[in-house]
Amino acid sequence: MGPLSASSFVFYLAIMILIGAVSAKIRTGSLSDFFLGGRKMKDWVVALSAVVSGRSAWLVLGMSGMAYTMGLSSVWAVVGYILVELFLFMFMGKRLRRYTQATESITLPDFFEARFKDRLHVLRIISVAIIVVFMVAYVAAQFNAGGKAISASFGLTTTQGLWLTAIIVLAYTMLGGFFAVSITDVVQALFMMLGLVILPAVAIANFGGLGEVLEALRAQEVSLLSPWTIGLIGAVGFLGIGLGSPGNPHILVRYMSSESPQGLRRAALLGTFWNVVMAWGAIFVGLVGRAYFPLKAQLPGADTERLFPHLAAQHLHPVLFGLTVAAVFAAIMSTADSQLLVAASGVTRDIYQKMFRRGKTISERRMVFLSRMAVLLLTFVAIGLGAAGKELVFWLVLFAWGGLGASFGPAVILSLFWKRTTKWGVVAGFVSGTLVTVVWNSTPALRQMLYHLIPAFFISAVLVVLVSLVTRPPEQAERELSEIRPRYRFRSKNV
Amino acid sequence: MFSFPTFFPLFLLPLLIVVLAVVLYLVFIEDGE
């Protein structure tokens, strides 16, 4: 990477740190500020923060690589999560936002405990254990990805790259908490959009236009231009990726942070638009990449996940190339920071404040200080895991998106929409979601048949329902859910 | 240049998703908004 590219990349990193420093003075006075932005985040911030927190390097590097290999069949991998997140913004997010404000819940375990009046902390203990383990592993994986990308772009070692990624994320997350993480997410969303629109546009134009690209693909393999080559089960498996979104706490807290529940309607529009453009940008990168490099061996290390930076280096001005490398980091950091903060909230809010020091008064200032220390501690745990336990991290991340989706997804949705849901139903959902994910993934025949999240999500949902039906529901559920139900204008008698 | 199997996933599908978002945005307005 030349000096111009390096300068534009350093410019991006400087913006991140600056946002952290400024945010530290704006909204970090209380625990709700530090972990939820004081529930005062604007619609457009929530929209962009929610979509980029959910899209890691998987979108920029993985998805473009998948489109390179599979062609148009890869679209099904993005359709599922975009539609599910539209539902979350539009319907579930509003209820979650209202309920968590009414009960002063800051974290997802807070929400479960409040919803089921769980004085024994059964739900808190199980959910915080799942969250901390999976989130820290997830952060470690993001740091590893950052390390690899830095080493590929700047000639540093992977370990040096890992440290650099971790220190930047640590700096702004520790300083500015949720506010900094959300505002950096907005900037990162802009960088990702820039990279995913400019690169395919320039590369396609340089090839002679989209018609030429498609002709080149047709000449290579006709099946690249059909979305049906993976078959129905393959398409359903891809669509099932979307079932992870309602259960991943680093995405859910975005909806909880909104300034107003009604604002999520506007966030739905912007978030969906952003999701669509980023996803199809990655798909176009894969398709045009395949036109340029018909053989995998033509890519660095024969690795399809290196297509994006490789294509950018060949087609973009050095400044723009630096910015597209920044887009890869934006994808990595916007996910890592949100996950780090959620894991830290599990330690300070759920374990320390709500269990060890229950009933004792601790000043907000002290809690914010402890939260910053938790961010610091967990960053080092993630660095250690990322550096030393690569296999463990790979194993945990394999289960993370699906495991969290299956364990929490049905439980959260049913808790918000079905008054009959009970505490033990939710416990059954947590346990079965995690167990089916692990068993399915560990059984080669099952793994090859269908993506684990689909059976795990449905079995978890069925068990939440069945166990709820045979146990006693919380008494106030009907009233509470009626209070958070949105009243739509088209149902109003006055219209 | 574009057969339906190509046109659908490349252009129509993303457009349909955005249209769905716009329709939901226009329909699900809460009382008092």
Q: How many helices (H) and strands (E) does chain B have?
A: 2, 0
Q: What digits encode the pLDDT tens for the residues A309-366?
A: 899 999 999 999 988 888 888 889 989 999 999 999 999 999 999 988 887 888 999 9
pLDDT of residue A432: 96
CA A212 – CA A327 distance, rounded (Å): 27
State mean pLDDT over A219-223: 94
Q: What digits encode the pLDDT tens for the residues A250-289?
A: 999 999 999 999 999 999 999 999 999 999 999 999 999 9
Whether A95 contacts A405, CB under 8 Å = no
State mean pLDDT over A422-451: 93
Of B8, B10, B17, the CB nearest to A276: B17
pLDDT band at A461 (very low <50, low <70, confident <90, very high): very high
pLDDT of residue A24: 86
Long-range contacts of residues A112-116, Cβ cutoff 8 Å, at least 24 apart: A112/A411, A112/A415, A112/A426, A113/A354, A115/A415, A115/A474, A115/A477, A115/A480, A116/A415, A116/A422, A116/A423, A116/A426, A116/A474
Verify whether the Cβ–Cβ distance B29 to A489 is below 8 Å.
Answer: yes
Determine the distance in angstroms separating the CA of B15 from the nearest CA of chain A, rounded to an integer. Answer: 9
pTM value? 0.94
The H-or-E segment that residue A64 falls in is helix A64-70
Q: Rounded to a whole number, what is the distance in angstroms from the first to the last CA of chain B?
A: 46
Sorted by sequence, the CB contacts under 8 Å of residue A54 that are 6+ apart come out as A81, A85, A245, A248, A250, A251, A335
Chain A residue with Cα closest to B13: A79
Above 70 in pLDDT, residue A494? no
Determine the distance in angstroms separating the CA of B9 from the nearest CA of chain A, rounded to an integer. Answer: 7
Percent of chain A whose predicted confidence (pLDDT) is above 70 = 99
pLDDT of residue B1: 61
CA A110 – CA A116 distance, rounded (Å): 10
Interface contact A226, partner B, CB < 8 A: yes
The token pair that represents A432 in the structure block? 């079965």
What is the 8-class DSSP label of residue A472? Answer: P
State mean pLDDT over A223-249: 92
Verify whether the Cβ–Cβ distance B18 to A75 is below 8 Å.
Answer: no
pLDDT of residue A493: 59
How many beta-carbon contacts under 8 Å exist across A and B? 74
Which phi and psi angles does A107 have, rounded to 5°?
-120, 170
Q: Which residues of B touch A227 (CB under 8 A)?
A: 5, 8-9
Q: What digits encode the pLDDT tens for the residues A49-105?
A: 999 999 888 899 889 999 999 999 999 999 999 999 999 999 999 999 999 999 999
Q: Which CATH class for the A3-397 domain?
A: mainly alpha
Residue to mutate among A90, A217, A492, with most B CBs inside 10 A, is: A90
Chain B residue with Cα closest to A486: B30
Sorted by sequence, the CB contacts under 8 Å of residue A149 that are 6+ apart come out as A57, A161, A309, A325, A328, A329, A332
Dihedral (C-alpha) A105, A108, A114, A119: value to the nearest 10 degrees? Answer: -120
Whether A334 contacts A361, CB under 8 Å = no
Closest by CA position to A173, among listed A20, A7, A307 = A20
Q: Which residues of A touch B3 (CB under 8 A)?
A: 225
Above 90 in pLDDT, residue A389? no
pLDDT band at A179 (very low <50, low <70, confident <90, very high): very high
State mean pLDDT over B7-11: 93
The radius of gyration of chain B from alpha carbons, rounded to an integer in Å, stands at: 15
Q: Among the listed ranges A191-200, A359-368, B1-10, which one has the minimum average pLDDT value?
A: B1-10
Whether A202 contacts A316, CB under 8 Å = yes
Above 80 in pLDDT, residue A390? no
State mean pLDDT over A363-372: 93
Q: What digits encode the pLDDT tens for the residues A107-161?
A: 999 999 999 999 999 999 999 999 998 899 889 988 988 888 887 777 788 888 8
Dihedral sign for Cα A180, A308, A382, A159, please.
Answer: negative
Q: What ipTM does this complex have?
A: 0.96
Q: Which residues of A touch B2 (CB under 8 A)?
A: 214
| Angle between the N-to-C axes of helices A307-315 and A263-292, in degrees from 0 to 180, rounded to the nearest 10 | 80
Determine the distance in angstroms separating the CA of A135 from the nearest CA of chain B, rounded to an integer. Answer: 30
pLDDT band at A495 (very low <50, low <70, confident <90, very high): very low
CA A322 – CA A191 distance, rounded (Å): 11
Q: Which residues of B touch A489 (CB under 8 A)?
A: 29-31, 33
Chain A residue with Cα closest to B27: A490
CB atoms near residue A347 (< 10 Å): 21
pLDDT of residue A183: 93
pLDDT of residue A283: 97
Coil/strand/helix, residue A291: helix
Interface contact A209, partner B, CB < 8 A: no
Mean pLDDT for chain A overall:
92
